[in-house]
């Protein structure tokens, strides 16, 4: 109770003891959602186990081992049991562990989980929120499928779980556990638990703070990781039809707890702790993501003097900081623009100077060429005039010579005539 709060008795029935019933009715009418991430190498029976867990057949094509990278494939289904509706989302890691270089195989998974957190955070930060009808896609449980090698965890498995343990509830399971003997399986479980502890990997622990489930959850925590087998095939064993796998050496019953831990996984994941997984996702993993994101944005609970932060003051401070950075960038861009304009002006002036110099050189060259042409023209004119003068003189001499020849011919003719008369 808070300070100043008193406990007073009631004189009669009021009715608020029906609040749990109201809450149940509202939840049933609204429906529930649950999102499972299946991480593991191709061929470990992830899809088969999901079909077995929910007693149905989900659509899906078998994945090949030739994927160039890790791809996350999300499928959502509407299920109903009695009057309870469940929107189930199953996310598969297609191609996980199939590449030669597995160094970055975990990154697409981390990015996918962060993307779902970011979507929810953006919805929360909206002025007009619709969280009551928003489809929550945050991952509530991560089933990490471990290959039944019987030796130890691979480096890829340790690195991936270490990267995911602060973002999602990890439940490690040994897939296809009928591939190794009982004694090897027991040693393998101990080895896996030891390696997880020594490497600081935090897996999901079933809660023991609720007295109604403390005993069963405490017992089941000791059985982690669960060794499971999946099968959708039913066989008649005795007088009952049971899910089982048939081998030449015998039959493995999926729901027989002496054969595998499938029943334990179903009890813990669906029938006992589904709501706790949803709550842990919201109160622990999402809150951690939200805290980091808001701190990046400059929001804190207290200032350096341990006084409560005002959201308005924080917003104004961040806004002023942003405007200051914006003005600084604008000034830098302006200075850069001015500098580039000056550089361009200098380049243009230099180019203009070169053009003027080139023009002057061409003009002078043109004048020199013109003068040479004029000199040649004058010389040619002088030669033409001299030629004309010589031609005129020659014609004059020729004319005189012809006149002189004609006079002599007349004289000779006259002399002949005179001599004839005689």
Alpha-carbon distances, residue 292 vs 103, 136, 200 (angstroms): 26, 20, 21
What is residue 307's predicted lDDT score, i.e. its pLDDT? 64
DSSP run (H or E) holding 307:
none
The distance of Cα 376 from the centroid of its chain, to the nearest Å, equals: 81
Alpha-carbon span 95 to 106, nearest angstrom: 11
What is residue 1's predicted lDDT score, i.e. its pLDDT? 46
Q: What is the mean pLDDT of residues 200-206?
A: 95
**What pLDDT digit, counting tens, does each position of 304-330 carry?**
666 666 667 777 777 888 889 999 999
Q: What is the mean pLDDT of residues 353-379?
A: 92
What is the pTM assigned to this prediction? 0.72
**What pLDDT digit, counting tens, does each position of 7-52 carry?**
888 888 888 889 988 988 888 898 999 999 999 998 899 999 999 9
pLDDT band, very low/low/confident/very high, at 401 (cuts 50, 70, 90): confident
Q: Is the pLDDT reported for residue 219 higher than 60?
A: yes
**Through-space distance between the first and last CA atoms of the chain, rounded to whole angstroms:** 188
150 and 187 Cβ atoms separated by less than 8 Å = yes
pLDDT band, very low/low/confident/very high, at 410 (cuts 50, 70, 90): confident
Q: What is the DSSP string of 272-324?
A: ISHHHHHHHIIIIIIHHHHHHHHHHTT--SB-TTSPBPPHHHHHHHHHHHHHH
DSSP 225: S
**What pLDDT digit, counting tens, does each position of 102-140 carry?**
888 999 999 999 999 999 999 988 888 888 888 899 999
pLDDT band, very low/low/confident/very high, at 421 (cuts 50, 70, 90): low
Residue in this structure with the two tokens 């200098």, named with its chain if needed = 346
Q: Average pLDDT, whole number, for the chain?
A: 89
Q: Is the pLDDT reported for residue 225 higher than 90?
A: yes
Alpha-carbon span 339 to 241, nearest angstrom: 84
Helix (H, G, I), strand (E, B) or coil at 203: coil
DSSP run (H or E) holding 119:
helix 107-125
């Amino acid at each position: 109770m808070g300070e100043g709060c008193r406990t007073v008795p009631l004189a009669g029935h009021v009715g608020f003891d029906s609040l749990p019933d109201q809450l149940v009715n509202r939840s049933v009418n609204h429906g529930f959602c649950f999102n499972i991430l299946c991480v593991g190498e191709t061929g470990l029976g992830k899809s088969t186990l999901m079909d077995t867990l929910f007693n149905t057949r989900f659509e899906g094509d078998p994945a090949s081992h030739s994927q160039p990278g890790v791809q996350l494939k999300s499928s959502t289904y509407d299920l109903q049991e009695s009057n309870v509706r469940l929107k189930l989302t199953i996310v598969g890691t297609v191609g996980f562990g199939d590449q030669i270089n597995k160094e970055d195989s975990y990154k697409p998974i981390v990015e996918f989980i962060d993307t779902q957190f970011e979507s929810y955070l953006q919805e929360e930060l909206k002025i007009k929120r619709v969280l009551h009808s928003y489809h929550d896609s945050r991952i509530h449980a991560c089933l990490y499928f471990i290959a039944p090698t019987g030796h130890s965890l691979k480096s890829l498995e340790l690195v991936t779980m270490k990267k995911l343990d602060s973002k999602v509830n990890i439940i490690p399971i040994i897939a296809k556990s009928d591939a190794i003997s009982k004694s090897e399986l027991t040693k393998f479980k101990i080895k896996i638990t030891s390696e997880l502890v020594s490497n600081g990997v935090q897996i999901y622990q079933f809660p023991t703070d609720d007295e109604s489930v403390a005993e069963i959850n405490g017992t089941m925590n000791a059985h982690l990781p669960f060794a499971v087998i999946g099968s959708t095939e039913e066989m008649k064993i005795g007088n009952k039809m049971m899910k089982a796998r048939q081998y030449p050496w015998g039959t493995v019953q999926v729901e027989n707890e002496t054969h595998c831990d499938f029943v334990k996984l179903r009890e813990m994941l669906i029938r006992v702790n589904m709501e706790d997984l949803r709550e842990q996702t919201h109160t622990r993993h999402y809150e951690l993501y939200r805290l980091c994101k808001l701190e990046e944005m400059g929001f804190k609970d207290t200032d350096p003097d341990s006084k409560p932060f005002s959201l308005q003051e924080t917003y104004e401070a961040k806004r002023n900081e942003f405007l200051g950075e914006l003005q600084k960038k604008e000034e830098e861009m302006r200075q850069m623009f001015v500098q580039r304009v000056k550089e361009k002006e200098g380049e243009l002036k230099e180019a203009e100077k070169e053009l003027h110099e080139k023009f002057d050189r061409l003009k002078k060259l043109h004048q020199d060429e013109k003068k040479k042409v004029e000199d040649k023209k004058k010389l040619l004119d002088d030669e033409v005039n001299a030629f004309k003068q010589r031609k005129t003189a020659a014609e004059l001499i020729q004319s005189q010579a012809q006149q002189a020849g004609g006079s002599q011919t007349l004289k000779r003719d006259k002399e002949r005539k005179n001599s004839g008369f005689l």
